[in-house]
A and B are shown apart, each in its own frame.
Chain A
Amino acid sequence: MIWSKAESAPREVIEETQVARLRETANRVYAINPFYQKKFDELGILPEDIKSIEDVKKLPFTKKQDLRDHYPFGLFCVPMTEVVRVHSSSGTTGKPTVVGYNQNDMDVWGEVMARVYTMSGTDANDVVHNGYGYGLFTGGLGFHYGAEHVGATVVPASGGFTDRQLMLMRDFGATVLACTPSFALHMAEVAAKAGSDFKKDYKLKAGIFGAEPTSPGLKAEVAKAWGIQYHEVYGLSEIIGPGVSCSCEHSELLHIFEDHFLAEIIDPKTGEPVPEGERGELVITTLTKQALPIIRYRTGDITSIIKEPCKCGRTHARMESIVGRADDMLIVNGVNIYPSQVEHVIANAEGVTLNYQIIADKKGHLDKLEIQVEVSDDIMTDSVGEMERIKKEIQASLLNNLYINANVKLVEPRTIERSMGKAVRVIDKRK
């Protein structure tokens, strides 16, 4: 089932809609908000210069810092009398970023989340167990109103209290689970204590998971643990919250709701677009938001986009699950590498822990890469040959999967420096 006709519109219609809405959004921000006015003027661009979808390139980028600099409501483009809701980030690394919605925006959010639910096969017959946190975080309420929009029964469970959540899921006959993948896995582990056939007590058929970076391995594990179809949702509060894109039953790629969000992939270093299908930083412009329209928002997330239509009948372009963060990207002898990719290789290696550090340096004119990995306590072997084998296997796997020649150095447990409890993943000595 497809919720909206817009999701399967021909490419020309999608782009016509995008151009018209982009011009409208540019007009709105330029006329109302001094921040955008100044940025447009600096680049010598006017909203009427937007004639084709490619013209989006002429517009200025917006960054997270811009939202912080205008804390709390400085980038809003409607009077506060019109704002019906605000959400905010936790702001652990500085001022929080605050986002606002008017009634139009709430309707847009309800619409895109209804598409997400429909993609997962959810309708009025379903009971949605919503384990996303309710509050300032957009996850809880975003999933809540979307489920109401398709007429499903929502159980607003929020986070925590695993045992009670499991009881509610059993007793209320939840058919759809919405929460973070790590919480879904945790719940499955707790539920499995009741016995290996625990699934007979639950009616779950699908899950809509997101809000955290997820490896393919984790996705498969969640789907298997609950025996359900896995749908991945992507979103960010600066754009709308959950509901920017979601995966259908036919592929792991996520359909972007292109009539509401214009997505571009750029080279994070140069800001220039990359060819279709190549990886780069995801940049999003909102096309229908009114309280907080955003022009070319640098998400910092690395992904790729393809426009090829999908078997499900949707024509909306699809993006990969996020592969990493632009801030963490390293270029080594011309190859782009994200720590998450290295982490994936290490996670599949035996005898080592996930505590690692990537050290980039120069040797003559060439870049050289060293990856230090802490050996695990329990596998600490007495054999030099065994340690050499572990090391060579990781090196071969890095070469086969990431096309990089790296020297893997096994280091003692607990020796990789951690700052504020968090490991420093990349040290670039070339800078």
Chain B
Amino acid sequence: MSKRVEQLSIFLENQTGRLHEITQILADAKVSIETINLVEAGDFGILRMVTNNAANTKKILDEKGISVKITPVIVVEILDKVGCFNRVISLLQEIDIHYTYTVNSHDIGAFIIKVAETDIEKAIGILEADGVMVKDAV
């Protein structure tokens, strides 16, 4: 089972109602959004998501003329305890982390780590060797 989770990124203009257009399309198509993260940079932003089926979500958005880029990321699960996040990050000290954000979940803490594609297998290896729960791709 691959540990590379496919994250979708969408380039968005900073425009009232634009985010809603996307979420409406996804809701209408019964896509389940597992994580969502919106980064804004002046007049544009990047919307990042993990859904229940990346390829299908991309297809749905492509049909609506929305360009989507798929990037592999790592999803790490941790206990909701002080120091757990720090432990994971400290394991990856040698690797350039591009960004990280949390995944909402009822019972367990989880977050996304984005590293360079060339580093991804190495990062997964380091984490798993230390017993960190790296989630399988769906």
Query: In the bound complex, how far is the Cα of B48 from the Cα of A384, in angstroms?
Result: 11
Assess the A380–B39 pair: CB atoms within 8 A: no
Answer whether A382 and B44 are a contact pair too, CB < 8 Å, given A377-B67, A413-B67, A414-B65.
no
Chain B residues within an 8 Å CB radius of A414: 65
Answer whether A380 and B41 are a contact pair too, CB < 8 Å, given A412-B66, A413-B67, A414-B65.
no
Chain B residues within an 8 Å CB radius of A387: 11, 41, 44, 46
Assess the A380–B9 pair: CB atoms within 8 A: yes
Query: In the bound complex, how far is the Cα of B65 from the Cα of A402, in angstroms?
Result: 33
Assess the B41–A375 pair: CB atoms within 8 A: no
Query: Which residue of A384, A413, A415 is within 8 Å of B39 (Cβ)?
Result: A384
Chain A residues within an 8 Å CB radius of B7: 382
Chain B residues within an 8 Å CB radius of A382: 7, 9, 46, 48, 69, 71, 114
Assess the A375–B11 pair: CB atoms within 8 A: yes
Query: In the bound complex, how far is the Cα of B41 from the Cα of A387, in angstroms?
Result: 9
Of the listed residues A382, A411, A413, the one surrounded by the most CB atoms of chain B closer than 10 A to its CB is A382
Chain A residues within an 8 Å CB radius of B11: 375, 380-381, 387, 410, 412
Chain B 79-103 near chain A by CB (<8 Å), digits 1 or 0: 0000000000000000000100000
Query: Which residue of B9, B43, B67, B68 is within 8 Å of A409 (Cβ)?
Result: B43
Assess the A381–B65 pair: CB atoms within 8 A: no
Query: In the bound complex, how far is the Cα of B43 from the Cα of A411, in angstroms?
Result: 9
CB-CB nearest in chain B for A407: B43
Verify if B12 is at the interface (C-beta below 8 Å from A). yes
Of the listed residues A383, A388, A413, the one surrounded by the most CB atoms of chain B closer than 10 A to its CB is A383
Answer whether A380 and B44 are a contact pair too, CB < 8 Å, given A412-B12, A412-B13, A415-B13.
no
Interface SS, B side: strand
Chain B residues within an 8 Å CB radius of A380: 9, 11, 67-69
CB-CB nearest in chain A for B69: A380
CB-CB nearest in chain A for B73: A382
A-facing residues in B1-55 (Cβ within 8 Å): 7, 9, 11-13, 39, 41, 43-44, 46, 48
Query: In the bound complex, how far is the Cα of B42 from the Cα of A409, in angstroms?
Result: 10
Chain A residues within an 8 Å CB radius of B98: 383
Answer whether A412 and B46 are a contact pair too, CB < 8 Å, given A380-B9, A383-B98, A384-B41.
no
Query: In the bound complex, how far is the Cα of B46 from the Cα of A382, in angstroms?
Result: 7
Chain A residues within an 8 Å CB radius of B41: 384, 387-388
Shortest CB–CB separation between residue B118 and chain A, in angstroms?
15
Shortest CB–CB separation between residue A378 and chain B, in angstroms?
9
Assess the A411–B13 pair: CB atoms within 8 A: yes
B-facing residues in A370-395 (Cβ within 8 Å): 375, 377, 380-384, 387-388
Using a CB–CB cutoff of 8 Å, the interface residues on chain A facing chain B are 375, 377, 380-384, 387-388, 409-415
Other 4 A-B pairs with CB < 8 A, given A387-B11, A410-B43: A382-B46, A410-B44, A411-B13, A411-B44
